[in-house]
Structure 1
């Protein structure tokens, strides 16, 4: 069924139950349902139609959650955009998906205005929350006034094979690609994940990850699917405040990324069992080191720890049952329910245990493809074992043990995972090369115990007066914060292959690790 039906159904069954907790507002299921219905009506009145794409350019707030379900109720496709996205990238996305509307916040309106100026010919409806004092930014309608629309359901005629979500992810070319997910894809992924996590309507899940990051987004989708409660925080910058929130709200589920785990394990004043309400912890984005797994289990003795692997193109691929942690702490487990995962060689033949190869995923949660990018789609979605299906070639190298448990070996492409985000080196290099004082640059990932990988840059200068701070400041003006290099080293020339092409592998061998 279409995914908004989960909200409608749970609002009818238990409308008074808390659906969402934020720093500014608590929303019950009936209230969230009503607000999203009103927003959907306002979108329709402003030209949003079935299958239109609508950008949600907000941080973690109740308005973003209401907007996502409103877009679905309007029959449209939502696209969550990281609040740190810069104008040139936002302009590319607006033009690429021909966005019919943008929902944003007053503090982000300058970025929206600049992006629209960079995307001539595109004039989406823009609704913004009010600035302090109640002023609505120029060029935007009032998000608050949209909530006053008559609560009449929009009759759009959509079905579950319509696109529900278009989520942009970095690609090896440096241009983000729009991953197309239908309502049926989202339904299948959320059902599978909530099954192995053993989620119930009694769960209270705390999420600090951006809703623009699919791991964070699915915490909202999974909670609404179940009729559970989501506690939505903006970041993990102040861990003690998050711990206080967990205690106050009696949180049962806490999704992590390795950066957060490293921060927790660096804290010296935490006693085992200090968060007794937690039933489970989960980790994805990058594998946790076995030593971190062991220490987390000591610190949270009453919680089950799920080590997982996934990618935006299918949301989740594998999970390690917690009872297997002692036997295989380095494994990312087995295929999630209703999924098949197997390893193949370059010819597409399945390989025996212990032999590295590319991981392939079959299942109803596999994407439909990349938005208007047939070439990239064909590289990732290839004919499967049955004539009617396509399977997902992940581009990541894995091996299995004799019992079929999977182990991550490495990446076939150059994408860097840092702080749980994917970064295309080409995108950072493009910004570096735009500086008039930089002649050449190559960007690589450097192993880092906290970030997973730090963004490192080797740079050849044409202006010898430039400093490391100058380059980082330049990158900060044009890139999201997680994409800004943490390490900059100067070279007189970059390592190259015999054909004269800059070699990332050789560059990685010469760059000093992060401290």
Structure 2
């Protein structure tokens, strides 16, 4: 990173490749990839993208599983002076169409396994100048896509260096889509400076080292999962990338085999692991730290994690995509403040305000405000939504993030999360917009009305509960509606509970009273 006085995000890879070229930096799908290989492959792909017409500031969408190709693509897009947009592989066709229309990417990098989902949306996306598909795909399927090539074709020419550098650190590095209360996904715009500041801050309190072996079972499209990869590359550590947490015993084997030192997860993962009878049969002694975010971790789970990973530091954390991370609870404070989500991360400030924007003292609930270099640039193509979140700060000319989350702080400055004001449900570590689930329910023939709420759940953080009114004479049962939802929604959005009711409670103004539904 010494060649450029102000580094960019992808310089993390350049630096690690120069200093640790022969070191294995990625373990994925049975492949062991060195930093030198990641550098060479990402350079080749970056040049291919540039030659295909990708220019500075263009968006490139990566719609893929956790694979070697996805990791290479992330760094290649940045090296091509473009903006990365990672999309969860669980995304359904209609939502992908919306995202392509909103993002207007110049290129799409994806895989054959997802062909049924991306085929039609890609063919109707007028902005695409290149589609790159990994995996075995026949000629007919490939030629049906706009300007499509196989992954191997992008690796045909070796390059010792990336394309000419065009960006500076205030340019966008990524757009990360997150659900909102309207059910319409919003693209969080993050600059190189945003992401490097967040990475440096989190890595500092976790004390991430170059001999770290970090396990990631979270999707790279989930910013918590993405930053595991970025932090590993920044430190010159090794990332062990799994497709998912679908097979918990396999994850435990991987911890023992690879001598994992860093284990990030969400409450759902830890709850599942702690219930496994075979947990004690695996050697987990290599773990140095465990992190949890995405929802509040129950106190009993924290205590069990301390017992299972007896030699590890346990970190409970809290954050938003709009600023990556807000707080962390230092491990030494776990016993005395187990219900707190901690103190502000390094190089960040936070405070609580009332409805008029006035600061509140200890023990008083209000909206959390975040100030720091991690705060997003805004929402992609949504100036009104941006204006509601980014407001003038205490110093002239600055903007701070009004999170919309209701919290309170104690006299020592430790934060306690209370609720999210915009109704977004955090389930399995993922954000779920009630309106998106309601729209899917209303798409089922015979469903007349639907209302979705979140209810506390020890395993999921919050479970999705749907109240459904069906047309008179229609015979439905809860399982049938769940199956219909599975056809329309990502798995984490499918309601755990479905209640068929004759009607929905309403307020005096005729709106559905979700407060009554939650209390029922």
TM range, normalised to the smaller chain? over 0.9
Corresponding position of 1:315: 324
Task: Give the counterpart of 1:72 among 78, 90, 105.
Answer: 78
Give, in whole Å, the separation in 1 of the partners of 2:458 and 2:240.
Answer: 28
Corresponding position of 2:348: 339
The structural deviation recorded for 1:136 is: 6.8
User: Is contact 2:392-2:398 (8 Å) kept?
Assistant: yes
The structural deviation recorded for 1:124 is: 4.2
Say which SS state the counterpart of residue 277 (structure 2) adopts: coil
Corresponding position of 2:191: 182
Give, in whole Å, the separation in 1 of the partners of 2:296 and 2:498.
Answer: 26
Corresponding position of 2:132: 127
Within a 5 Å distance, the mapping from 1:54-453 to structure 2 comes to 54-117=60-123, 119=124, 121-131=126-136, 137-138=142-143, 139=145, 140-151=148-159, 152-271=161-280, 274-453=283-462
Corresponding position of 1:20: 26
The structural deviation recorded for 1:39 is: 0.4
Corresponding position of 2:51: 45
Change beyond 3 A, Cα 1:22–1:136: farther
Task: Give the counterpart of 2:511 among 490, 501, 506.
Answer: 501
The structural deviation recorded for 1:134 is: 10
Give, in whole Å, the separation in 2 of the partners of 1:116 and 1:37.
Answer: 25
User: Is contact 1:437-1:461 (8 Å) kept?
Assistant: yes
Say which SS state the counterpart of residue 360 (structure 1) adopts: strand
Corresponding position of 2:41: 35
Deviations 1:12-52 (A, max 9, x none): 11101111111231111111000000000111111111110
Change beyond 3 A, Cα 1:129–1:192: same
**Structure 1: runs of 5 or more not aligned:** 511-515
Deviations 1:179-202 (A, max 9, x none): 000000000000000000011111
Corresponding position of 1:513: none
The structural deviation recorded for 1:133 is: 8.7
User: Is contact 1:162-1:183 (8 Å) kept?
Assistant: yes
Give, in whole Å, the separation in 2 of the partners of 1:482 and 1:390.
Answer: 33
Change beyond 3 A, Cα 1:135–1:194: farther
Task: Give the counterpart of 2:489 among 447, 468, 479.
Answer: 479
Q: CA RMSD in A?
A: 1.6
Corresponding position of 1:464: 474
Corresponding position of 2:14: 8
User: Is contact 1:272-1:301 (8 Å) kept?
Assistant: no
Say which SS state the counterpart of residue 244 (structure 1) adopts: helix
Deviations 1:345-376 (A, max 9, x none): 11111111111111110000100000010111
Give, in whole Å, the separation in 2 of the partners of 1:341 and 1:272.
Answer: 43
Give, in whole Å, the separation in 1 of the partners of 2:195 and 2:355.
Answer: 30
Query: Please, which moves more after superposition, 292-301 or 269-278?
Result: 269-278
Give, in whole Å, the separation in 1 of the partners of 2:402 and 2:391.
Answer: 7
Say which SS state the counterpart of residue 286 (structure 1) adopts: coil
Deviations 1:460-481 (A, max 9, x none): 0015222323322222222111
The structural deviation recorded for 1:422 is: 0.1
User: Is contact 2:261-2:288 (8 Å) kept?
Assistant: yes
Give the structure-2-normalised TM-score: 0.95
Give, in whole Å, the separation in 1 of the partners of 2:251 and 2:15.
Answer: 31
User: Is contact 1:281-1:303 (8 Å) kept?
Assistant: yes
The structural deviation recorded for 1:4 is: 0.7
Say which SS state the counterpart of residue 270 (structure 1) adopts: helix
Give, in whole Å, the separation in 2 of the partners of 1:122 and 1:485.
Answer: 35
Change beyond 3 A, Cα 1:355–1:273: farther
Q: Name segments (4+ residues, structure 1) moved above 6 Å.
A: 132-136
Deviations 1:365-419 (A, max 9, x none): 1000000101110111111001111101111111111111111111111100111
Number of aligned residue pairs: give it: 509
**Structure 2: runs of 5 or more not aligned:** 1-6
Give, in whole Å, the separation in 2 of the partners of 1:123 and 1:377.
Answer: 27
Deviations 1:309-365 (A, max 9, x none): 001000000000000011100001100000001111111111111111111100001
Give, in whole Å, the separation in 2 of the partners of 1:245 and 1:24.
Answer: 11
The structural deviation recorded for 1:122 is: 3.9
Change beyond 3 A, Cα 1:202–1:68: same
Give, in whole Å, the separation in 1 of the partners of 2:218 and 2:42.
Answer: 22
User: Is contact 2:365-2:408 (8 Å) kept?
Assistant: yes
Say which SS state the counterpart of residue 502 (structure 1) adopts: coil
Give, in whole Å, the separation in 1 of the partners of 2:447 and 2:101.
Answer: 29
Change beyond 3 A, Cα 1:22–1:188: same
User: Is contact 1:130-1:137 (8 Å) kept?
Assistant: no
User: Is contact 1:262-1:292 (8 Å) kept?
Assistant: yes
Change beyond 3 A, Cα 1:135–1:113: closer
